[in-house]
Structure 1
Amino acid sequence: MTFTAPFYRPLLRRCLGYVLLVGMLAGCQSSATELPAARLVASAAPTTADSATAIMPSLSDSLRLTPLEPLAAVPASLHQAVQALHTALGPEAATLRLEVLERACVGYLNLRKFGKISQPGILAVADMDLPSSEKRLWVLDLRKAEVLQNSHVAHGRGSGHLRARRFSNVMKSACTALGFYRTQDTYQGKHGLSRRLRGLDAGQNDNALRRYVVLHAADYVSQQHLQRHGQAGYSRGCPALPPDQYRAIIRTVGEGGCLYLSGPGLESKWLNPEVAAQQLAARGWR
């Protein structure tokens, strides 16, 4: 049986239209920043071309943390103050590495000095090098040397499995972006109460608002999920929080607070120890 050109042209056009539609849908990304389930498979790899970050992990996770060199040229007075703070925080901050806390405090003091944050004494720190099976987010009261909140927190599905290994500021990368953030206003989203985040490190996390990177609750960070899977699930870049703690965390950090997401390879202009020491001497942890 022979088909003439008029016969198969409409069929060909319909097929091409279907292929284009599927391609468009595959490239779309919701403005929401989480996945409904905790799974990381090759077929879920983001389609963005981010040559600086390999999106999907190819090696098994190791629990060995990435070595973190102490900050250079930290004045003795500042270093001693951070050491004293670390000791005073007690057992709840036992897994918060001193090197991470020192960077977080230096950044906080710089941001206070230049008016980039407005919540005095409140600092949220997440060590994204720790596995998601551990409580790796702390909200601290620096003035009282107290841990106000300590919880699990998810990383982006593009950043790795148990541990986050790749970080990106690129749209649709589904990666966590490291650096310092200012906590913004709250709103009622599809996951209830959420708090927007503004990235303060140019080129590293300053796409946060456009990527809809926010603090919000997620079932894949619940105790039930952690008990069943042994780790938190994955977001599309948000530091997603446990459903039983997210309201308290969002309320505690407030608007205008400082959030520091720490991880390997982070460089930030806010890590200036000399300025931080001057601010501490002049204003304390306020």
Structure 2
Amino acid sequence: MKTCLSAVTAIAIATTAIMTPLSSIAQSTTLGDVNVAKLIQTTSAAGLQPSALKASLNAYAWARTHHKLGPNKNTLTVVDFTLPSYKKRLWVIDLKTDKVLMNLYTTQGKNSGLVYATHFSNKRGSDMTSLGLFSTAGEYYGHHAKSMHLDGLESGINSNARSRSVVIHSAVYATPAFINAHHRAGRSWGCFAVAPDVKAELLNNVKGGSALFAYAPQENQDPIVKNGPISLS
């Protein structure tokens, strides 16, 4: 088998609240203690598009409601695959403090595209990125030294993550030096690779069953996204 070398204590929003502006929603309890309007402001300043954040928060709400996360349930990682690989497109967010902890470069699967990721798959052997909601799992030592397993939480979208060995690992082709030289990041077999010098901090921030959401526009039709508490419009 190939490997990649390469609170919501209750989501209690009335229907009328879902249809109100985000500034109004933020005054009520949407995602536990998460102030959505403030979070959009904070993450937008760090370069995260509101469309990607809102989709991620809806998926996160589903995960909290269905008890899919571990003890580190206040950390959310968003990867926005509408951005090219020469942009920093991974954000680690502390939902308790509304702070962006990290903003990093990350890779896509080699068959997802060269610079932009445009093709996605859950199939074994596809060497493509999978979209949707993941939770972080155990750390291990492999070809790329210390790495982290991911569990895909959505059937048919990313549920083969474990059997495909889709993980978080480090790679020199995700470093600023490589990206500056080649005008893009290198590509994995579907893993979320980051620069070696930021890997330890990233793994420490996201360990413990936190949520990771990989976004592209088609995720707006994902049931756990489009039926969530936050309007995507």
Q: Give the TM-score normalised by structure 1.
A: 0.69
Unaligned runs of 5+ in 1: 1-29, 36-72, 278-286
Residue pair 2:5, 2:144 contacting (<8 A) in 1 also: no
**Alignment map for 1:145-224 (pairs within 5 Å):** 145-224=98-177
Task: Tell me if 1:112 matches 2:64.
Answer: yes
Deviations 1:68-93 (A, max 9, x none): xxxxx9343765442321113463x2
Matches within 5 A, 1:245-256: 245-256=198-209
1:269: which partner in 2?
223
Matched, 1:74 2:45: no
Aligned to 1:259: 212
Q: Is the 2:133–2:213 Cα contact (8 Å) retained in structure 1?
A: yes
Match of 1:31 in 2: 2
Give, in whole Å, the separation in 2 of the partners of 1:75 and 1:206. 31
Take 1:154 and 1:182, find their aligned partners in 2: how far apart are those partners? Answer: 18
Against the structure 1 CA distance between its residues 220 and 186, is the aligned structure 2 distance closer, same or farther, given a 3 Å change threshold?
same
2-side partners of 1:232 and 1:89: how far apart?
23
1:96 is matched with which residue?
48
CA distance in 1 between counterparts of 2:81 and 2:44 reads 21
Between the aligned partners of 1:265 and 1:77, the Cα distance in structure 2 is 23
Q: Distance in 1 between matches of 2:151 and 2:90?
A: 18
Question: Which string of whole-angstrom CA distances, capped at 9 and with x for unpartnered residues, describes residues 155-203 of structure 1?
Answer: 0000001100000111111000100001100001110111000111110
Normalising by structure 2, report the TM-score.
0.84
Secondary structure of 2:101's counterpart equals strand
Q: 1:242 aligns with which of 156, 181, 195?
A: 195
Q: Aligned partner of 2:4: which letter?
A: T
**Bigger helix fraction:** 1
Q: 1:116 to 1:75 in 2, by over 3 A?
A: farther
d(CA) in 1 for partners of 2:50, 2:201 = 25
Counterpart Cα distance in 2 of 1:109 and 1:192:
33
Any gaps of 5 or more consecutive residues in structure 2? 7-16, 27-34
CA contact (8 A) 2:171 2:196 kept: yes
Task: Indicate the larger mover: 75-84 or 191-200.
Answer: 75-84
1:223 Cα deviation after fit: 1.8
Q: Indicate the SS of the match to 1:270.
A: helix
How far apart, in 2, do the equivalents of 1:34 and 1:189 lie? 10
Superposition deviation, residue 263 in structure 1:
1.0
Instruction: Specify the alignment match of 2:184 in structure 1.
Output: 231
CA shift, 1:99, in A, is 1.0
Instruction: State the shift of 1:129 in Å.
Output: 1.4
Q: In 2, Cα distance between the equivalents of 1:108 and 1:225? A: 33
Asked if structure 1 preserves the Cα contact closer than 8 Å seen for 2:75 and 2:95, the reply is yes
Counting matched residue pairs gives: 208
Q: Report the RMSD for the aligned CA atoms in angstroms.
A: 1.9
Aligned to 1:12: none
- Report the alpha carbon displacement of residue 246 of structure 1 after superposing the two structures with TM: 1.1
Instruction: Summarize deviations over 1:213-258 as a string: whole Å, max 9, x none.
Output: 0000011001221121111000010011111111111110112110
Residue 44 of structure 1 corresponds to which residue in structure 2?
none
Larger radius of gyration: 1
Change (3 A) 1:75 1:247: farther
| Letter aligned with residue 183 of structure 2 | G
Q: Which amino acid aligns with 2:209?
A: G
- In structure 2, distance between residues paired with 1:120 and 1:165: 30
Say whether the 8 Å CA contact 2:151–2:162 is kept in structure 1: yes
Give CA-to-partner distance per residue, 1:19-44, whole Å, 9 cap, x none: xxxxxxxxxxx522133xxxxxxxxx
Percent identical across equivalent pairs? 33
Q: Give 1:113 deviation, angstroms.
A: 1.3
Q: Which moved more, 1:136-145 or 1:104-113?
A: 104-113
